[in-house]
Amino acid sequence: MYNAITDVRGIKVGHWTDREAATGCIVILCETGAVAGVDVRGSAPGTRETDLLNPINLVEKVHAILLSGGSAFGLDAAGGVMRYLEERDYGHETMVGKVPLVPAAIIFDLPIGSAKIRPGAE
């Protein structure tokens, strides 16, 4: 036990960092699903799938949370997380198969490091 989020069974954490470009991303995987909430603020928020966290919506669990640099380009990293979860058969059950739910948010870090290097699906 490390007194960390990874002490919780079923939680995995991964990251990618490019120190030269001064950007990166972090993902918290909840393979069996987890209840989540969000409070989106700011004058130009960059998010993906955060609306499904509203308690009036159908979805009760998400399978990962992604926080990324790269401004709006960094939202592409969520596609890679979805692919990872789909390959392992994790996701919200639908009539045509499972859909991994990965809410994501980004920060605008393009002016530091390199604006051409940013997190992506790979």
- pLDDT for res 119: 97
In tens digits, the chain (122 residues) has pLDDT values of 899 999 999 999 999 999 999 999 999 999 789 999 999 998 999 999 999 999 899 888 999 999 999 999 999 999 999 999 999 999 999 999 999 999 999 999 999 999 999 999 99
Domain regions of the chain by residue span: 5-106
Strands 11-18 and 23-34 come out as: antiparallel
- pLDDT for res 4: 94
**pTM of the complete model:** 0.92
Taking the chain, what is the end-to-end CA distance rounded to the nearest angstrom?
30
